[in-house]
Chains A and B, each alone.
Chain A
Amino acid sequence: MRADAVADTQSETESPTGLIVLQGQDKMRPWVDAEGLVWAGAKPDATGDVLVLAIHLRELHGYGDLRVGRFVLATGAVFPVQLDGADGIGRTPWGSSLEAFGGVPVVPRFGSRAYDWLVGARLAQTLASKVTVGFSYVQRREYGDISNQELGADLAAVPFRWLDLAAKAAYDLTSPGISDARLSAAVRVGAVRTEVFASEQSPGRLLPATSLFSVLGDFPSQRIGGTVRWWAAPRLDVLVSGAGQLVGRELGGNGWIRSTLRLDDLGSGSLGVEVRRVDVTTARWTGVRVVGARSLGGGFRFSSEIEIVVPDEPNRRGVAWPWGLIACSWRAKSGWEVAGAIEAASSPQYRYEANALARISRTLEFR
């Protein structure tokens, strides 16, 4: 049994809030485990929400799994759905698998439920341990009527040790058209990993089908780009990413370069710099971020972070948005940890703003 609890309190937002995590496994009965994740809040109205409450049963040789309860269903090209229901999967030694799921989409907190439900399945085949192909279908009903039907296809392939491919696409049968398609191909040669990606996403897919706004999102967001990660030296990483983007009828793009230098072999101290440029539709800005952290000995650690963002069109939001943080933490061998920070900024909301942050934590471990 593992239990974690986190509490968070702030002066402005709903506070205090917290998370309770429970996880149970039994080595004597390895075919069953259970997990719970509960959010609890106190203001403005005492409330809480169960995010995960699931029991997981599995056949010990891997021929089948069954999840029952509340969980996030994310499989194949189907968009992730939080579900109260069941999800079962059967596998064969020759690489075929059939997954079937069904249940009631989760309503936040104690919201009322209509006659809503969801069913679906995914059939997949793995070939020579190198290629997996899957086909999925999902049907969702709200107030008893079909609100969404999708067909999906997904692919994962590792034809060579240095090449990794993945792709998925979903076709919306209700408002005919591709709702989501993504492709990623990564090549790793020595100290350099290069990834090329492309995606098309219909924004209307992200809304409940009962929302009027779901019938407006007919301009897909299309993106194509690449990312390169270079381990330039044992302690120096360089990450570069750029993408061209078509949103509606407007062409834009974004790109960034980030470099991190670790100051010791264990990574307890580091320096980093990031430069980013975003130029998409009405979002146009340039930003620079510099971070630094250093272990001071005796369990003390100092860190600082500075960011300056300059929007192309201030629109009465200020010509630049600087933000900075200075933090210091102390960790005792007994498990106690204390951290404090001063955060200052000039934002579109406040011309001047300063916040004090503090954290006290204690790690307890029982075996």
Chain B
Amino acid sequence: MRVSHALAILVLFAVAACAGVLGLRSSDPSHPFEHRAHVMKGINCVECHAGVSTAGDTGPLHFPSDADCRRCHTKPHDERACSGCHGESFVRGAAELAREHLRFEHANHMPAVNGDCVHCHTAVAETRPEALRPKMATCFGCHKHEDQWTLRDCDGCHVDLTAEDTPPASHLVHDGDWIREHGVRAASERDLCSSCHSERSCAACHGVGTVPTLPAKMAFDDVTLPGLHRAGFRSRHGDEGRADPGLCTTCHSENSCIDCHTASHVSPAGTRHSPHPPGWITTGAGGGEHGQQARIDPVSCAGCHGGAGEQLCVDCHRVGGPGGNPHGSDFRSTKNKLRDLPCRLCHGSGR
């Protein structure tokens, strides 16, 4: 046998062995209902889901009973309830939530689609349980709702969208690196975000005062929770901040650095715990690395040296001083240097 054939057989065995782990084959006897097989047999939906065509916004959910199944399956393979394994456990919860959160009547829709359930339940033949509930895009196939969509008026169908707390499935995607991505996506559609998210979602990061209790910190046992502060973040936080200027101050005030470093005895500079590397400030030409870094990431500097600490800069960076002009070569500003802050801190006295 050629090596390539042996390798191919080995890969096939490996995939087969891992099929359960990858979710390709489930070990749980319960499984999505075999809608496809029943549809292919030409069985009309309402033969099992009796009464659904006249169902209103309240009442039972019209799941088939064992008696419904046994009208055809006269010799069941098991005495247990059919729905225990065949699908119901997958969809009952979602159906109950839909009944609670949506304003919907099958009775109104059945005449419009001539009793063709598949018109809306387009993915009924798929085995994925989440495919049974029509996506919102399917609703929009007939109900344009353009005015309501434009006006963010969701109450026509959704009882209480915020309380519904349902991840958007069909019209929004929170995939990929969403923490980075959400800012540009929200710019044009802030009110769309607020359809589901309340004020505190924004304030948790973008408020002036920092929320001290992050979900990732509280849920230390949920290791799959995403978040910037996972695992050994405290060790690498300085490098994380330098690699993405401004990232830290999205949530933290510029005083957070000095507050925490003081509490942790990692300041001031000059001690063996100095956060600055060797060669940070030199007396020769260029002044060391601090000037370059201050122009790349002044926010980090302000983290410790803001407020009264700014005097540390002015002591050197003044006309005639050893630090010279701190502005970049292409620095421009429309501010009045004698009157406006922060210009007047240096220039106000005619310096």
Contacts and interface: CB of A to CB of B under 8 A. Distances in A.
A233 interface: yes
B154 to A, nearest CB: 9
B242 A211 contact: no
B342 interface: yes
Contacts of A75: 187, 190
A9 to B, nearest CB: 11
Nearest to A262: B23
Contact of B333 (A19, A65, A215, A227): A215
Most buried by B among A23, A37, A77, A307: A37
Interface residues of B, number: 112
User: Which interface class (under 10, 10 to 19, 20 to 34, 35 or more) fits A?
Assistant: 35 or more
B9 to A, nearest CB: 21
A195 B188 contact: no
A297 to B, nearest CB: 14
Interface string B186-218: 111111000000111011101111011100011
Contact of B149 (A41, A109, A129): A129
A168 B305 CA distance: 32
A263 B21 contact: yes
Interface in B7-39: 21-24, 26, 28
A209 B342 contact: yes
Given A214-B342, A349-B266, A281 B313 contact: no
Contacts of A201: 245-246
B78 interface: no
Most buried by B among A62, A76, A109, A193: A62
B232 A307 contact: yes
Contacts of A39: 209, 211-212
B243 interface: yes
A236 B23 contact: yes
A261 interface: yes
Given A67-B199, A327-B221, 10 more contacts: A17-B213, A145-B340, A166-B187, A188-B173, A212-B346, A241-B176, A285-B239, A291-B224, A301-B221, A303-B223
**Nearest 10 interchain pairs by C-beta:** A62-B151, A323-B232, A234-B23, A235-B23, A156-B188, A62-B153, A213-B298, A283-B239, A327-B221, A321-B235
20 contacts: A14-B212, A25-B163, A37-B211, A39-B209, A51-B209, A109-B209, A143-B341, A145-B339, A168-B184, A201-B245, A203-B246, A203-B297, A206-B299, A212-B342, A215-B342, A216-B326, A219-B296, A221-B245, A281-B242, A284-B239
